[in-house]
Structures are given as structure tokens and as C-alpha cells.
Amino acid sequence: MTDKKHSLDTVNIQYYTFAEHPNELKLVSGKSLGPITLAYETYGELNKEKSNAILVGHALSGDAHAAGFHKGDKNPGWWDGLIGPQKAIDTDKYFVICSNVIGGCKGSTGPASINPKTSKPYGLDFPIITIEDMVRAEKYLIDHLGIKRLLSVIGGSMGGMQALQWVALYPDHVQSAIPIATALKHSPQQIAFDEVGRQAVMADPTWNKGDYYDKPDKPEKGLAVARMIGHITYMSDTSMEEKFSRRLKDKDYNFDFTADFEVEGYLRYRGDNFVKRFDPNSYLYITKAMDYFDVSGEKLISKAKASSVRFLVIAFKSDWLYPPYQVQDIVRQLKIKGCDATYCEVKSTYGHDAFLLEIEEETHLIKHFLNKTFHGYNVVR
Amino acid sequence: MTDKKHSLDTVNIQYYTFAEHPNELKLVSGKSLGPITLAYETYGELNKEKSNAILVGHALSGDAHAAGFHKGDKNPGWWDGLIGPQKAIDTDKYFVICSNVIGGCKGSTGPASINPKTSKPYGLDFPIITIEDMVRAEKYLIDHLGIKRLLSVIGGSMGGMQALQWVALYPDHVQSAIPIATALKHSPQQIAFDEVGRQAVMADPTWNKGDYYDKPDKPEKGLAVARMIGHITYMSDTSMEEKFSRRLKDKDYNFDFTADFEVEGYLRYRGDNFVKRFDPNSYLYITKAMDYFDVSGEKLISKAKASSVRFLVIAFKSDWLYPPYQVQDIVRQLKIKGCDATYCEVKSTYGHDAFLLEIEEETHLIKHFLNKTFHGYNVVR
């Protein structure tokens, strides 16, 4: 997956600031936000026609660093298996952009950013944002880069929501979309898992109603619990069985409340690690945005039809967080309206995590789809 | 379900104390526990031959109050739909016993009980207990009641584990077993959900390493989060969709972190209610007991075969916490050894909660099975 030979060289994070007073971004909630900075990375070169740009959306805990290596880093970006020279999203051919969402904590404006009105971190004064707001912010970036029409918008999980939202908002600026392991809207079960994660953060007294940035403690324990819940939903029953079964950390049961089983140790490790790199308030804002997301009904399909956007929609058999029936529903809605949509269900046991792990299968599907979209486009024009 | 005409009259909780010094119960962990009090209820009359006794095991958050009404109560016991005159577990024919497990907090000895060595609540000085220990304690009660052989041991979820454990430990004292929505052992996913619940409790600073009984605050927020996680796993994606869909509590999104969706309000309500009636330490001890439980391999089946115990094993199609494949595995293991085991999969959408809700289906299955077991037994003798 991290084949250095086919990896990008050192990549750098960049920043773009916009929506400065008095031109703040008007949000779905009715509130405004500005100035906004988006942290983003780009890979490959934009061609003369500006027709080879692909926007990649990240998932809940992702960031702008989708591919290549930051100077001195041992690990590449989170989708390096798919993005790079001769990979599925071929940086020898395409110009790839990935930005951290607003509300995030990896360089883009979010609740940990300085509120220009108070010169302190926003905390809960940060307005509630939606996937639509995230995409509107991304549109500023795309405009800034001089791109009129994206060859494709692609992403898994929340990244897939962004892909769908791009079509719903800017159908004439998107030639194709590849939503992966995602849904038109969250089911009550998905909302419930998000809500329990939020409750875990907010139950931590150091959360202090979001005001912890200048305090010695932040709600790391609460966020770790939220992340542990998340991790269970990202894996499948089968992948957990394959990875851990009932193996013990030590020879026998400890007969106390330390971690007896390997799966317990793994969850604690993942929880503890996550809090080092993620802002608890961002966890609240981003999960809320996902719960509010809803492009069912006419919102997406009427736009998709009018602008003849092409869709490649991918699901994973063992994904029970975004189960295939939800992904199929996207395709069904599109097909009913006569849109050009292809559905592929990958036989993976990795659960929701599959969108990050099933690189080979995704490569087969995405590479050809992009190729046809790109060359078809050039010919038709 | 709570048909008063066919319900038991006022029922009373009773207590039995045993394992007093120097006869403490030797636990699986190597530690000892005593004295032990079991809170229990009985319904119906024990016949002269003492051949009509049925032991009912409760689930994680259950108690000894399985049926009938406590004086002044509006709601009956947790399995009143199944237990009562002319019901599936017919108290006109059978003598029914249900006791609160050790480690619990509903009258039986648990971490909130007074430690005779310190005259203070045990807290984390309470020894880790296992399902085997719970069942050994139940055996004391059965002996005390003068019952040599139980007509049946029946229960759902952890109650089903007790039923299986009874056969594994005391095969000659059990004529039949009805494990429902349960497993031979927890999968890593089941352990993971339990572990996250425990982490939620232990992350609450008022948990204070289990020492909160004389403090003004107890880890209610942590326990509420644990319970919310539990509730998601007790329902199914379908039952949540049917019950809540994406209905809002108010007209529109609140654009804050209050409960927007009905499902969020429901989870918060269930979490907040639970902490009023359950001891957080008991939650830790009982979930740990379930995670340690393992009667796979020869532990159960060799005993079941030698003593010709009859099994009725019930699963629910939409139960993803104790999925049918796990329940089928119990039956498969038993059948391979030539044991008398019947498997029934009920087409319910209720998820794991179905064992508490699918009363009519369970009645059909259980009533006839008990009838045949009871009369067969009487004839053979």
C-alpha cells in the first residue's frame, strides 16, 4: 500500500483564506462564518484546459493530507494507496486536491481557531456547520484554483457525502462523482452512534461546555471513549474475529478491570492515540454535520439528472455502519431518474474501514471510471 | 403483554444468605466470597415430587423481579408476559424461581454491599465474578429450596449463559435448558462493546476507582453513556427506523448540541433513567463476567450428552448483538454430539430486545417444550 516507488515525493500543506469581513460565508443555520482558512494539499499538475482536477473529500477524522509524505514523516497520507503516480487517482494525469473541512482541526477554521471577535478560540461560539457549508467552502477553494468544472469529486464515508453534496449544490461544476461507503442521509442508528460519541465527550467534566483550550486538561477521556465506539463501528464482526478472536494479552484472565483481551488493548490504544491528534469540539461539530446531512428526495437527483453527472457508487459487503442497502438506495434513486450511475459492491470483510483498505479493488473500479470520464469529456468538448 | 387477568397477584422479594465464614464460596478467580445473600422471587407452588421447578436467569440489567406486581407498582416484572397463570411458563403448573445474580445491585451481594472485613461497601474490593460463580450461588439457593433437579433453566442474553452454565456445571440437576439470544462465548465485538461501556464508566472522575458510595456524586454520566451504547446494540437498524426514522423533536434543527432527533432524546432518556436504578460498579462486574464466559469446546457438550439434557435454543433474526450464527453454533455443537436440541429462529425486527418483546412467538415455542419435558419426565420416572 505504501509502495515508495509509486509514491509522491514530499508534499506540503497549503492554506487559502477567504470570506473575510464583510463577506463572511452565510451558513445553513443562518449564522455567518469568516474569515475562513482552508488547509489543503494538491498532487499532480493542473492541465492547460483545467479539465483534470479531482477533489477528494475526507472522512470524520481525516485531513487534507491524503497522499505522499510530509517531510520527515514515515507514514504517507491516508489514501496514499489510491493517489499517486500510476495509481487509481493517477497524479501523472490528474490534478488532485484535498482540503480539511471547516469545523475540523487540521489547519482549517474550526472551533479551536481564533474567533476574530474575541481573539480567543471559538469553542462553542463556533457556529454549527453542515456538509453543505463544508462544500460551499470547498467551492471557494476550487474557484481560487481557477477550476470551473471538477473532473470528479470522490470520497468515502463523510467524503462521499461531500461528493453527493457537490452534485446537489453545483451540478454544472462536477463532471462525475464517486461516493463510497456513504448514504443520502443518516439512519437513526447512525445518528445514535454519533450522539453517544458526543455524549461521551460532553460527559467529561473537562469539556467544560467546549471551553478548555486554555485549561490544563481537555476532555481526552471522553473523546477516547467516543473514538472507541467509532472503532467498533468501523470494523466488522468478522474482521474483529480475524484480527483478535478471544486472544488474551497475558496468559490468563487478570481478574480485574485492566485489558484482558487483545481487542480491549487495541481499543484503548486507538482511543488514547486519537486524543493526541484531534480536537474534541471538532468531533462534536463534524458528527453533527453528518447527522444533519440529507440529500434524499429531489435534492440530489433532480440536479444530477439535469447536468448529466456520471456516478460510480461503491459499497462494501461487511460495512454495517454504512450498509450496502443505503448505498444501493443512492443508485436506485439516480437510476429511477435515468441518471448514469454504476453500483459496485466489494466483497470485503473489513467493514466500513474497507474504503481505506481495499485499495486493489477500489483501484480497478476507480481507475477505469476516471479514465473514461476524462477521455470522454475531452472528446465531447 | 401485561394482561392483569392472567397475571400473578402481589409478589414479594425474598432473601437467602449462605457461604458464611468459614464456608465462603470459592470463586473461579481463586478468591472467596461470603457471606452471600441472594435476592429471589418465586411464583407458583413446588409440587410434592419437587419436579416442577424452573429457574429463570436475568440479563445484564435485570433482577429477581421477573413477573407479577410488587405492592403498589404499576408495572410488572420484566418477563411478566411469559410467566404467570396459563402463560408460557405456567405458574398454575410450575414453580418458578428467579434470583438476582451475585455482583448485581438488586438485593444480591455485589460491589455496593457491605464488606464484612471493613464494614464499608466493597467497591473494587469485591472480587471479580464469573457466570460460573453466579450459577454456583444459584445452586445454593436451589438446594435451600429442596430441589434436586430443575425441570428447566431458561433465560435470554446473560440469562441464557446461566442456562448453558447450569448444564456445564450441574448436568444431573437440570432436565432441560432454554438458552435464548445468547452465545457459547462472547465474540471480540461483544467484548468490545462491553469494554467501551466500562471505559465510559471508568472515565467518569466521580467513579473514583469504584469508591463513590459515600460521596455526593457517583459516575452517573459515565454509566448513562454506557447504557446508551447498550441500547443501540439492543435494537436493530430496522426497529430504530420504525420507531424513530429521522423525526425531529422540534420543527427544525436546533443548530446546537441539544437533542435534535427523537432517537437522541430517547437515548438520553434511557441513559438518565438507568442511572437511577443501577450501580455503576455492578455494570463493570457483570459485563466482565459475560466477557469471561466461555463454554465452548467440551465444557458444555460433554456434560450435556452424558446427562441427556434437552435443549430448546432460540435466536432472533435481527439480533446483531447475539447474532443467529452464534446461537446456531450452540445447536450445531450439541447436535454433533447427538444431544437433543431444537433450534428456532424467530423472524423479529426488534433486535436483541426481541427476547423481552416477542412474547407470543416465545410462548408457542416454550409452552409446548416445557409441557413435553414435564410430562415426559413424569412418565419416564
Per residue in B339-375, pLDDT tens? Answer: 999 999 999 999 999 999 999 999 999 999 999 999 9
pLDDT of residue B58: 98
The minimal CB distance from A264 to the residues B191, B245, B284 is found for: B191
The DSSP secondary structure of A238-295, one letter per residue, reads HHHHHHTTT-BSSSS--SSSS--BHHHHHHHHHHHHHHHH--HHHHHHHHHHHHH-B-
**pLDDT digits 0-9 by tens, B130-186:** 999 999 999 999 999 999 999 999 999 999 999 999 999 999 999 999 999 999 999
Assign 3-state DSSP to chain B and report helix, strand, coil percentages, each to 5.
40, 20, 40
- The label of the residue with cell 436475568 reads B58
Mean pLDDT calculated for residue range B289-317? 93
**Cα separation, A205 vs A203, whole angstroms:** 6
Cross-chain residue pair A200–B225, CB shorter than 8 Å = yes
Residue pLDDT, tens place only, B66-117: 999 999 999 999 999 999 999 999 999 999 999 999 999 999 999 999 999 9
Verify whether the Cβ–Cβ distance A200 to B203 is below 8 Å.
yes
Domain B4-186+292-380 coded CATH 3.30.200.20 = no
Among candidate residues B133, B194, B291, B319, the one labeled active-site is B319
At A379 the pLDDT is 47
Please report residues of B whose CB lies closer than 8 A to that of A260.
Answer: 291-292
Q: What share of chain A is helix, strand, coil (3-state, %, to 5)?
A: 40, 20, 40
Please indicate whether, in this complex, the C-beta atoms of B185 and A246 are within 8 angstroms of each other. Answer: yes
Looking at CA atoms only, how far is residue B332 from chain A in angstroms?
19
Assess A357–B contact: CB distance below 8 Å, yes or no: no
Q: How many CB atoms lie within 10 A of CB B174?
A: 24
pLDDT in tens for each of the 381 residues of chain A?
Answer: 445 566 788 899 999 999 999 999 999 999 999 999 999 999 999 999 999 999 999 999 999 999 999 999 999 999 999 999 999 999 999 999 999 999 999 999 999 999 999 999 999 999 999 999 999 999 999 999 999 999 999 999 999 999 999 999 999 999 999 999 999 999 999 999 999 999 999 999 999 999 999 999 999 999 999 999 999 999 999 999 999 999 999 999 999 999 999 999 999 999 999 999 999 999 999 999 999 999 999 889 888 888 889 999 999 999 999 999 999 999 999 999 899 999 999 999 999 999 999 999 999 999 999 999 999 754 443
Q: What is the pTM of this model?
A: 0.96
Give the burial string for A232-243 (b: 16+ CB within 10 Å, else e).
bbbbbbbbbbee
* pLDDT for the residue numbered B260: 97
Q: Specify the DSSP class assigned to residue B100.
A: P
Find chain B residues with C-beta within 8 A of A186's C-beta: 246
The A residues from 170 to 199 touching B (CB cutoff 8 Å) are 185-189, 191-193, 195-196, 198-199
A261 — contact with chain B (CB < 8 Å)?
A: yes
CATH architecture classification, B190-288: Orthogonal Bundle (1.10)
- What is the β-pairing status of strands A53-57 and A152-156? parallel
- A227: contact with B, CB 8 A cutoff: no
Size of interface A-B (CB pairs under 8 A): 156
What is the distance, to the nearest Å, from the Cα of residue B49 to the centroid of all Cα atoms in its chain?
A: 28
* Contact indicator for B327, B312 with CB cutoff of 8 Å: no
What ipTM was estimated for this complex?
A: 0.95
Strands B152-156 and B53-57: parallel
Which of B278, B251, B196, B207 lies closest to B229, judged by CA? Answer: B196
Residue A72 buriedness (CB in 10 A; 0-12 / 13-18 / 19+) = exposed
Contact call for residues B310 and B176 (beta carbons, < 8 A) = yes
Per-residue model confidence as pLDDT tens digits over B227-277: 999 999 999 999 999 999 999 999 999 999 999 999 999 999 999 999 999
Helix (H) or strand (E) holding B170: none
Distance CA A236, CA B301 (A): 29
Q: Do A332 and A344 contact (CB within 8 A), yes or no?
A: no
Note whether B202 contacts A: Cβ–Cβ < 8 A.
yes
Contact B194, B229 (CB under 8 A): no
Say if the Cβ atoms of B202 and A257 lie within 8 Å.
yes
Residues 6+ apart with CB under 8 A from B278: B61, B105, B223, B227
Chain B residue numbers with beta carbons less than 8 Å from the beta carbon of A237 are: 187, 189, 323
**β-pairing, A95-99 with A53-57?**
parallel
B contact residues 138-177, partner A, Cβ 8 Å cutoff: none
Give the DSSP letter string of A339-366.
Answer: -EEEEEEE--SSGGGHHHH-HHHHHHHH
A contacts of B228 (beta carbons < 8 Å): 192, 195-196, 199
Most B CBs within 10 Å: which of A125, A201, A220, A225, as the mutation test of the B interface?
A: A225
Q: How far from B66 is each of A36, B4, B111, B156, B376, CA to CA, in Å? A: 59, 15, 22, 12, 27
- B19-57 pLDDT, tens digit per residue, is 999 999 999 999 999 999 999 999 999 999 999 999 999
Q: Please check the confidence at residue B1 and state whether its pLDDT lies above 50.
A: no
Please tell me the distance from the alpha carbon of residue B162 to that of residue B164, in angstroms, as a whole number: 5
Q: Break chain A into its structural domains and give their ranges.
A: 4-186+294-380, 190-288
Rounded to the nearest angstrom, the minimum Cα separation between B86 and chain A is: 38
Task: Say which CATH superfamily domain A4-186+294-380 falls into.
Answer: Alpha/Beta hydrolase fold, catalytic domain (3.40.50.1820)
Cis status, amide bond into B22, omega within 30 of 0: yes
Which positions of A are annotated as active-site residues?
Answer: 157, 319, 352
DSSP three-state, residue A299? helix
The reply to whether omega before A22 is within 30° of 0 (cis) is: yes
A203·B193 Cβ contact <8 A:
no
Question: Which residues in B lie closer than 8 A to residue A225 (C-beta atoms)?
Answer: 196, 199-200, 203, 225
Which of B320, B60, B224 has the alpha carbon at shortest distance from A225? Answer: B224
Same fold, B4-186+292-380 and B190-288: no
